[in-house]
């Protein structure tokens, strides 16, 4: 009888647990890496037949067509809410990263220009927010979607993206290896840790955990956590991780949710809690990935 292997039943990464590894050391002796990730997304009013989207995202009356109100609510984030969120971030000097759909880069040039002017790092977020990657896709379909996304980023922004976050973190079992083959070097889809770890793809990807527990859509929109609790949720999580040391903290922000006028003060309060923590390193995903590769190369016990 074969003994069960420790960890999940796949070979994407080596299983490790907190007690078996040393905490990461961040630049300047920081205790925690902090990455703020704004989502720039385009939701199609009428996705093509066969496209898959997260079924949790619907109006309170369920699915119907045309879904003008839910569609335009998301548009609000890119027209109005984004600029409120950017002002709050600029006031606190945090580095900015953006998970953008390829279609959003073409549809919202003013937002892209503003983000570029602020020095934001762009992470590829698939083609459309209404078209998740799933196991129902063939390998060729996945390769083509990744290639189209990469080509659009390169054309619009003038450089290839290094990081990937799937729309609603959708993947098939093939996705990580296809991304590695396409030239990506880090991935933000897997919320199974409190610090980055390497994927056993060829070449290897750095997995940077993107926790959903304090994601604004998950907490405020789907789980309906009361808005006044948001600063404490973010602040308590970040404080605990910083106290442990060697952890990473990725804060995902969706302007159509957190950029609403009745919520923006809670974002400011959450950012103030975050910035008040001693020993944080404000970084982009590529900076985190580069630092981890260098650290792992020098010490295998960190993995």
In whole angstroms, what is the distance from residue 248 CA to residue 209 CA? 8
On the question of pLDDT at 1 being above 70, the answer is: no
pLDDT tens track for 132-158: 778 887 899 999 999 999 999 999 999
In whole angstroms, what is the distance from residue 127 CA to residue 56 CA? 20
Instruction: Tell me what percent of the residues of the chain surpass a pLDDT of 90.
Output: 71
Angle separating helix axes 139-157 and 109-117, nearest 10 degrees: 70
Across 58-82, average pLDDT: 77
Across 39-45, average pLDDT: 86
Residue 266 and residue 234 in contact, taking contact as beta carbons nearer than 8 Å: no
Across 194-219, average pLDDT: 94
Which one is predicted more confidently, 214 or 301?
214
Partner residues linked to 197 by β-bridges = 207
Torsion of CA 108, 92, 73, 167, to 10 degrees: 70
* Nearest CA among 152, 146, 150, 148 for reference residue 177: 146
Across 20-26, average pLDDT: 84
Which one is predicted more confidently, 60 or 154?
154
Burial class of residue 225 (count of CB atoms within 10 Å of its CB; 0-12, 13-18, 19+): middle
Report CA-CA distances (Å) from 49 to 46, 95, 130, 131. 9, 39, 11, 10
On the question of pLDDT at 64 being above 80, the answer is: no
pLDDT tens track for 227-236: 999 999 999 9
Written as six digits, the tokens of 208 are: 């940077």
Written as six digits, the tokens of 162 are: 């290094």
Query: Poorest-confidence range of 49-63, 78-92, 188-202, 264-278?
Result: 49-63
Angle separating helix axes 230-244 and 264-275, nearest 10 degrees: 20
In whole angstroms, what is the distance from residue 179 CA to residue 184 CA? 5
- My answer on whether omega of the bond before 66 falls inside 30° of 0, hence cis, is yes
């Amino acid at each position: 009888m074969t003994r069960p292997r420790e960890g999940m039943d796949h070979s994407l990464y080596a299983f490790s647990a907190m007690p078996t590894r040393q905490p990461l050391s961040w630049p300047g002796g920081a205790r925690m890496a902090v990455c703020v990730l704004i989502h720039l997304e385009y939701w199609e009013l009428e996705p093509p037949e066969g496209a898959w989207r997260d079924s949790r995202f619907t109006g309170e009356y369920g699915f119907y067509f045309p879904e003008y109100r839910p569609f335009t609510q998301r548009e609000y984030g890119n027209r109005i809410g984004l600029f409120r969120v950017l002002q709050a971030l600029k006031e606190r000097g945090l580095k900015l990263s953006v998970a953008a759909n390829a279609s959003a880069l073409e549809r919202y040039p003013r937002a892209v220009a503003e983000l570029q002017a602020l020095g934001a790092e762009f992470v590829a977020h698939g083609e459309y927010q209404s078209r998740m990657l799933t196991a129902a896709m063939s390998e060729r379909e996945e390769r083509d979607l990744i290639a189209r996304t990469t080509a659009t980023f390169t054309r619009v922004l003038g450089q290839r993206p290094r990081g990937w976050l799937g729309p609603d973190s959708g993947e098939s079992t093939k996705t990580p290896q296809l991304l590695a083959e396409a030239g990506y070097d880090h991935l933000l889809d897997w919320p199974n840790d409190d610090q980055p770890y390497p994927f056993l793809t060829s070449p290897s990807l750095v997995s940077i955990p993107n926790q959903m527990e304090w994601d604004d859509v998950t907490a405020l929109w789907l789980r309906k956590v009361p808005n006044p609790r948001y600063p404490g949720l973010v602040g308590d999580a970040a404080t605990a991780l910083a106290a442990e040391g060697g952890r990473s903290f990725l804060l995902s922000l969706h302007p159509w949710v957190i950029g609403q006028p009745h919520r923006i003060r809670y974002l400011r309060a959450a950012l103030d809690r975050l910035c008040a923590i001693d020993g944080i390193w404000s970084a982009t995903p590529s900076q985190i990935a580069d630092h981890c590769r260098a650290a792992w190369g020098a010490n295998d016990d960190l993995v």
